[in-house]
Structure 1
């Protein structure tokens, strides 16, 4: 029977974990498929905007929303991510994202949440200022923080980080880093065994090879994405695959296939109301017509894409559309229209400081100016293009800019400058030819070396075939031994982990007070022992008589709730760490000096305004409300000499001595003990009460109180 129950529990746990995993993956898919609907739902369910300035206020908001604080944090993180998506429509997206990031910094407690906030901060900065290098630093920092977290939530976070990092490295023209993160992105997709994520990863790799002008590889990845997309119920994936297949077929000059896929993708994106992707698909159609020299048709589709980007307020998209329109008008010999479009593109890229687009835009700008015979302006923009190409080490762009410069200098009659530029062109051309020749020579040498290595390998394979048969038995035996060792190691590790977990749980329980399950006497002593740098300035013991018998008057459960609320509120009020010693008695550690009279007054005011019982729950002796308050107060350290150490237990017992004297009074009383500078260390030794009493009589230590403490109040 016990075995059956255990198996049932195991099945329930497995299904629970599986359901949670499916929920997280479905949420990530919903984020990508229907971001606008998810955005509106989250704004409604979280009542955004929220107003809070600390964790307590946030917890209260979560309670009012009938959510756990962690669930509310995850909803706010998702809402922040949506505010940073281009296909989410909101007039206050960036401001809302900044507000959410600042609020999440207040309440985030886990390493994973803090990593996500760092990632979001980098993404917001990149969207607002186009500072992609800063964003890359932030993303890598976030990735490092969760590198050892194997949870599904952390895995999905790494999935998004690698996706974004690949895009960022593409923006800063670092293809190797771009490919590295794309491969990690794909590995995680297959690790999750989720067809949707696999299709996304295949799409991204296809885009990479498309940009690298490797259409064969690109077509391979896009075809796989299209195949996987056809077997899942997410038409958006299929639409993206069609869009990218259109790009690839365009590069392969298969115009009919390219146009078919591009038009299908456009129709799908319009159906889903995904404006940014609709603009991309229209741009692809325009580029297909441009590749066939059908410039008027290309301009029509570029203008349609421009309208979509203007509606979305996508300035970078507008810049790219204007660049392409300028190129089309240039090929139609419509110089004024080309000049107007290229100026709009240039102003956008310059304002955004997007140099990786600006280098190509300046080159086209120069070409248009040359066609318009605007030689001084052509020289100015050719120099800008040359400087950017030199900065980014783009040899072809540098050569193009130099050619434009030579033409412009000759037209303005500056032959010396033109000759210098021509010399640079010749030098750069020689370097390019030398590199190409070296590559050719290296290829020949590499081929010969590979053939030689292959012959050596074939010889070694023949020699090893004989030895392999003799070694098979030894290999099998070693493999069996290795398996046994691994099994033993796994069992040992499993048992060790159980023991470590049990020890960790015991250590945690050891520090807690049994009834309230809050930090208790041992935690207090541990804090006093660890106070090596004199962080604690004041230590006090409190006795609240109204809570002395709360465990029996209200029961353990209700008493624990009352005491927990009491400690949470009082610790914030006093700015102190509070520990439960026993029902009604608490220890307070202050990192600042506090006057005992001020401490007593604060507690009196708090107790007077606070209910120390739940009016809904029955309680014995509710009418008999004892409210006397006693405080034993000492200043830390007890001895001024830093070379003399007094144990944590003796500090605690000294405070007990003071509170015992206070409890002899019939009114709210504090007793504060202070050691005079000339006091010897021997007074703080066992038996402590005897030594303290004698020290009081001799005047070595001083006792202060708000009541008259007579000699009878001290122990005899």
Structure 2
């Protein structure tokens, strides 16, 4: 009986120690995934440097001197090498330091587990440093070959990491079936560990894969499960990642409001925990959502924000992707020269990082932009590069697109024979890829592309016949052009005689457009023209007389016009600026120097009291500096300035009519340009409530009632 009890105690003791070891390993894995920088600090704090040895005996002595067993120190070094290979840990020359640790680990790698771990580290390093994903995949596969079926907890956790990294590489390289196989194994292992964090990460990873395949129902199913598990965890990074992934799914589903909501939530989360690399991704998602809505200026703003983050971090791949996205945005925004400039820069970075899979799409976009600029030599050159890379990566759709640009370029360059030869080559290749892929689908992009190429071939042949016919018609056309030129010359002489008269009429019309219709004083359009042309404006103020909208009725037209002209002239001279009459009782001031708001209020009070018609009348002003945003590279439209002033005046009017009030705002340096986007009242009020915009007032600013966006009011009423 005693022997039985003793055996039972030993058994439970062994189980408890095994569970404790397993729990510690899983906890380290969770901490590693949630916060690599913090994990790095804990790891180096547990070690004494330098760590150098040339054989197993020296290593054993080193472990003993640091208070570790040989196995424990080897595990610490493995964790250290792995965390060096993570982005954003804040260590200079992290890749070199990782290689140094890996070189030391090679000396003591005497088990299959040790060799598999090293192969995993080498695959990770190749993937991050060289972007040679195929070579990285080979290393991961070799690592799996060293790990046979085992119940060892450390081995299971290593398999968990390898399957994740393999699945992600297959996803990046568009090998969807292989990616799904490894990510499902990754998920199964996570469920075996029974850790909610690891399960949530695995579910989110599968959601990401299905999202990339446009299987949005499955993607949302996995994300929903991940979010359910994450809600019970105090893991801000995980929650931010899930928000980012959900934003991408809703973006692909064209649910713009949901996409922006989750993307901004993700951006806020990454900002709080200092994950700038992921913050850049959130900015990119926001930009893409605006791009999908063809709001290209806002998309460009967020791409530029993402680019600033990646430049600061030195992330060349991120910079290249941002430049590619900027190129696409500028192209869609009808700025092909800017688009081409950014795409060429992206091309250089992709070449430097040997990112062939990104180069394909960048080369194709360069060819597209160059075709709009009619630079057919460039179109031909980059289409040829894209074709070679697409053939290497076995991407038939991209091959077809590249050849379309190439054949068009060759046609425009007059090299019809090469164009025909290229078309014939791709038709042959399309048949090969169709046999290789054998996708069970009624729709085949290769068949469609082949028909398009055949159509282009017939168009090229028809074009040759047209050119021959045009050669015969050239002389006749030249004769007709000569006769038409004589007629146009006669018409031109007649038009020249009336040019002076038309020019004077145009000048008068331009002047009237910039005037307020009734008073003929400088008005709203005059202000817009002044803001568009001048750079010497330091401050804007919108002056609203409390009862000013009635002056034209109470004074009569003649006295009102005389009073208003005299008041505007007085304001312009005394305040060193220009005054514009928006409507009765509402005057906009463009000032060449920045005046404190209280002093400006007192000056206006004094000027109003000089005239009997406005003496004692209370007024409100809204003041802003120019430029409004701290970043001079961000341009704010004149009508946006005016709308901001209107909102400030409305806020001042909410403080009552028995006193003179001013309201002024100053966006903080880190405030995004999006606070001035449409709908302005909605975004600006949110910026004020979030502390992104500083509000100043000579009364209690807490009593200000900001005007609400009309659609928001409608929503509340329903």
TM-score (norm 1): 0.59
Corresponding residue number in structure 2 for 1:676: none
Contact 2:236/2:273, CA 8 A, preserved across alignment: no
2:133 maps to what in 1? 132
Q: Secondary structure at the match of 2:46?
A: helix
Task: Indicate how the Cα distance of structure 1 residues 8 and 170 shifts in structure 2: closer, same or farther if over 3 A, else same.
Answer: same
3-state DSSP class of the match of 2:411? helix
1:297 maps to 2:298:
yes
TM superposition shift of 1:313: 1.9
Q: What residue in structure 1 maps to residue 268 of structure 2?
A: 267
Which residue number in structure 2 is paired with residue 534 of structure 1? none
Separation (CA, whole Å) in 2 of partners of 1:117 and 1:32: 19
Deviations 1:30-72 (A, max 9, x none): 1111211221222232123312222222222222211112111
Q: Does 1:85 align with 2:103?
A: no
Q: Look up the SS of the partner of 2:90 in the other structure.
A: coil
In structure 2, the partner of 1:355 is 356
Is the 8 Å Cα contact of residues 396 and 430 (structure 2) preserved in structure 1? no
Please show how residues 222-621 of structure 1 align to structure 2 within 5 Å.
Answer: 222-421=223-422, 439-440=441-442
User: What residue number does 2:38 align with?
Assistant: 37
SS in 2 for 1:173: coil
Say if 1:39 and 1:290 are closer, same or farther in 2 by CA, change over 3 A.
same
Q: Deviations over 1:355-385 (max 9, x none)?
A: 1111111100111111222111111111111
1:182 corresponds in structure 2 to: 183
Q: Distance in 2 between matches of 1:88 and 1:334?
A: 38
**TM-superposition CA deviations, 1:111-160 (whole Å, max 9, x none):** 21221012112222332322222222221121121223321110000000
Paired residues of 1:309 and 1:317 also in contact (CA < 8 A)? yes
Give CA-to-partner distance per residue, 1:420-476, whole Å, 9 cap, x none: 45666777889999999984399xxxxxxxxxxxxxxxxxxxxxxxxxxxxxxxxxx
CA distance change for structure 1 residues 296 and 53 in 2, over 3 Å: closer, same or farther?
same
Q: Counterparts of 2:352 and 2:114 in 1: how far apart (Å)? A: 34
| 2: CA distance, partners of 1:20 / 1:38 | 18
Deviation per CA, 1:678-713: give whole Å up to 9, x if none.
xxxxxxxxxxxxxxxxxxxxxxxxxxxxxxxxxxxx
The match for 1:94 is 95
Distance in 1 (alpha carbons) for counterparts of 2:70 and 2:419: 70
Displacement after TM superposition at 1:260 (Å)? 0.5
CA contact (8 A) 1:223 1:245 kept: no
User: In structure 2, what is the Cα distance between the partners aligned to 1:126 and 1:269?
Assistant: 24
Paired with 1:245 and 1:38, the residues of 2 have a C-alpha distance of 27
Report the CA distance between 1:270 and its aligned residue: 1.5
Distance 2:429 2:112 in 1: 51
Greater than 6 Å deviation, 4+ residue runs: 424-438
Unaligned segments of structure 1, at least 5 residues: 443-716
Aligned to 1:608: none
Q: What is the CA–CA distance in structure 1 between the aligned matches of 2:432 and 2:294, rounded to whole Å?
A: 33
Conserved? CA contact 1:403–1:425, under 8 Å: no
1:13 shift after superposition: 2.7
Number of corresponding residues: 442
Q: Against the structure 1 CA distance between its residues 436 and 81, is the aligned structure 2 distance closer, same or farther, given a 3 Å change threshold?
A: closer
Q: CA deviation at 1:394?
A: 1.9
Q: Report Cα offsets for 1:497-548 as digits up to 9, x if no partner.
A: xxxxxxxxxxxxxxxxxxxxxxxxxxxxxxxxxxxxxxxxxxxxxxxxxxxx
Distance in 2 of aligned mates of 1:339 and 1:196 = 44
* Change over 3 Å in CA distance of 1:438–1:427 after alignment to 2: farther
What SS does the aligned partner of 2:351 have?
helix
Q: Distance in 2 between matches of 1:194 and 1:222?
A: 17
Conservation of the 8 A alpha-carbon contact between 1:129 and 1:352: yes
Please say if residues 229 and 235 of structure 1, whose CA atoms lie closer than 8 Å, have aligned partners that are also in contact.
Answer: no
TM-score, normalised relative to structure 2: 0.58
Q: Distance between the aligned counterparts of 1:375 and 1:108, measured in 2?
A: 57
* 1:56 counterpart residue number: 57
Once the two structures are TM-superposed, the CA of residue 298 in structure 1 deviates from its matched residue by 0.9
Give the match's secondary structure for 1:150: coil
The within-5 A match list for 1:113-152 is 113-152=114-153
User: How far, CA to CA, are the matches of 1:148 and 1:183 in structure 2?
Assistant: 17
Moved more, 92-101 or 117-126: 117-126
